[in-house]
């Protein structure tokens, strides 16, 4: 029960380091289950979700060691992992459902609870289930548990995804690498995190083509070997600091950020008034003048990412003009807008759309994070609001941002973390 307390009026100025991606490392951890022995991941972010996934793997029989200072994580996988994932842990993060594919491929059986996580709408598992069925698994739901069984080795198949689902692509990709024969996944997700998973699987001995495209062709192999892999940089964390730089009239060097993974986002920020310079070690975002409004439509990669939508809405609340924001990925993403309006944002939602007009001023008050990105958006809004803004439910932010308050303080923000019921700030911002 802690909160972030921010005093508005700052400019974010300086440099920030981008860690490995939350949306990749959790899937890389699941992929370690595909090979017996020790796999080591580097550039691992110090976030809550990594701790939860580590516990998921431990419950499956793996040994997990973490060096936070070095940003590394080692996973020792037994000859035969346990087939049943811990239900309480799986329900804490949705990403944990990706142990389903590796487990059924290695063990011939997997028992995984229907996952939990952010309150941003339904994320159906139909494509996971139908894809595994095409590979030869029988999948049922028993008392809230997904149970997948295969009487023998999975068989390669042609799979068409109705929507380029990241989770379904990852699960079917990891199942397909140990299936007999050829698996083709059409309309696959193209996110950089998918390409990162493909790179790790290839280093483990997988045979696949099409990483980064909408068609993945996988030639199944009999077994994989453990590996060492560097996690791709977190484009959502990088984008959050880029948006924060423009919102606050600041100047931030995003070290380690991949501009090529944020092309449409950085283009939108340029239209809104930022100057973006790409460098060998990242990119720099400078606010040369107050921001002006932009229209945004979220789409699967390479479109505008839904995970940067709350931060963008916060930006639009202080941008000159009127913007139309359209959400095409999650049906409850605009829950965030109710909290932002408490700060004085001028918002009107209509289904999958929100119209944002520049508010005369935002004024600090108490708000609550409902998910990882909503929390980040509310913190950014607090940095430009008059007075003091308190953001509670910060465990959501901890799931995706390492030492968020500390990073913002290094950029000049007046922000601290404190117990919900008391004034004393905690020193450890993780």
Per-residue confidence (pLDDT) for residue 284, from 0 to 100 = 98
What confidence tier does 422 reach under pLDDT thresholds 50, 70, 90?
low
- What superfamily does domain 22-230 belong to in CATH? Enolpyruvate transferase domain (3.65.10.10)
Per-residue confidence (pLDDT) for residue 329, from 0 to 100 = 87
260 is in an annotated binding site: no
67 is in an annotated binding site: no
Closest CA relative to residue 349, chosen from 370, 373, 325, 328: 325
Contact 275, 288 (CB under 8 A): yes
Tell me if 2-18+233-419 shares its fold with 22-230: yes
Q: Give φ, ψ of 213 to 5 degrees.
A: -115, 175
372 is in an annotated binding site: no
Which letter does DSSP use for residue 78 in this model? Answer: P
Overall average pLDDT of the 76-86 stretch: 92
Per-residue confidence (pLDDT) for residue 421, from 0 to 100 = 65
399 is in an annotated binding site: no
Overall average pLDDT of the 410-428 stretch: 74
Pick the range with the lowest mean pLDDT from 37-46, 141-150, 241-250. Answer: 141-150
Could you tell me which residues come within 8 angstroms of residue 312 by beta carbon, excluding any fewer than 6 positions away? 243, 268, 296, 304, 325, 377
Q: Which amino acids are annotated catalytic?
A: 118
23 is in an annotated binding site: yes
274-324 pLDDT per residue, tens: 999 999 999 999 998 999 999 999 999 999 999 999 999 999 999 999 999
- Given the candidates 3.40.630.30, 3.40.50.1860, 3.65.10.10, 3.60.15.10, the CATH classification of the domain at 2-18+233-419 is 3.65.10.10
Domain layout of the chain by residue ranges: 2-18+233-419, 22-230
254-279 pLDDT per residue, tens: 999 999 999 999 999 999 999 999 99
Token representation of residue 162: 């109705």
Token representation of residue 107: 């063990």
Does 123 have pLDDT greater than 60?
no
372-414 pLDDT per residue, tens: 999 999 999 999 999 999 999 999 999 999 999 999 999 999 9
Beta bridge partners of residue 237, listed in sequence order: none
Contact 1, 170 (CB under 8 A): no
């Amino acid at each position: 029960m802690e909160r972030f307390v921010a005093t508005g009026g700052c400019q974010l100025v300086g440099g920030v380091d981008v860690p490995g991606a939350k949306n990749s490392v959790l899937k890389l951890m699941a992929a370690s289950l595909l090979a017996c022995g020790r796999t080591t991941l580097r550039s691992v972010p110090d976030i809550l979700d990594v701790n939860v996934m580590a516990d998921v793997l431990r419950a499956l029989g793996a040994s997990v060691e973490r060096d936070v200072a070095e940003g590394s994580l080692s996973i020792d996988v037994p000859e035969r992992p346990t087939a049943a994932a811990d239900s309480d842990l799986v329900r804490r993060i949705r990403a944990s459902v990706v142990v389903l594919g590796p487990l059924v491929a290695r063990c011939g059986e997997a028992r995984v609870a229907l996952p939990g996580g952010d309150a941003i709408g339904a994320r159906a598992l139909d494509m996971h289930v139908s894809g595994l069925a095409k590979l030869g698994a029988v999948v049922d739901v028993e008392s809230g548990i997904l149970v997948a069984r295969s009487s023998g080795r999975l068989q390669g198949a042609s799979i068409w995804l109705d929507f380029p689902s990241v989770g379904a692509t990852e699960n079917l990709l990891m199942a397909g690498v140990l299936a007999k024969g050829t698996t083709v996944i059409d309309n696959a997700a193209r996110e950089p995190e998918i390409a990162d998973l493909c790179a790790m699987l290839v280093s483990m001995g997988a045979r696949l083509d099409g990483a980064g495209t909408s068609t993945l062709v996988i030639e199944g192999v009999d077994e994989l070997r453990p590996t060492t892999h560097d996690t791709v940089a977190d484009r959502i964390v990088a984008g959050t600091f880029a948006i924060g730089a423009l919102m606050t009239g600041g100047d931030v060097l995003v070290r380690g950020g991949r501009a090529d993974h944020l092309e449409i986002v950085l283009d939108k920020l340029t239209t809104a008034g930022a100057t973006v310079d790409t460098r060998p070690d990242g990119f720099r975002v400078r606010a040369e003048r107050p921001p002006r409004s932009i229209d945004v439509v979220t789409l699967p990669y390479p479109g505008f990412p839904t995970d940067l939508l709350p931060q963008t809405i916060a930006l639009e609340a202080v941008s000159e003009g009127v913007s139309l924001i359209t959400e095409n990925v999650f049906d409850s993403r605009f829950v965030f807008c109710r909290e932002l309006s408490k700060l004085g944002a001028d918002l009107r939602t209509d289904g999958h759309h929100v119209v944002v007009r520049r508010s005369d001023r935002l004024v600090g008050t108490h708000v609550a994070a409902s998910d990882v990105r909503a929390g980040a958006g509310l913190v950014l809004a607090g940095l430009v609001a008059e007075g003091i803004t308190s953001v509670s439910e910060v465990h959501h932010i901890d799931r995706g941002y390492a030492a968020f308050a500390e990073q913002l303080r290094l950029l000049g923000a007046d922000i601290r973390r404190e117990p919900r019921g008391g004034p004393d700030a905690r020193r450890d911002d993780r």
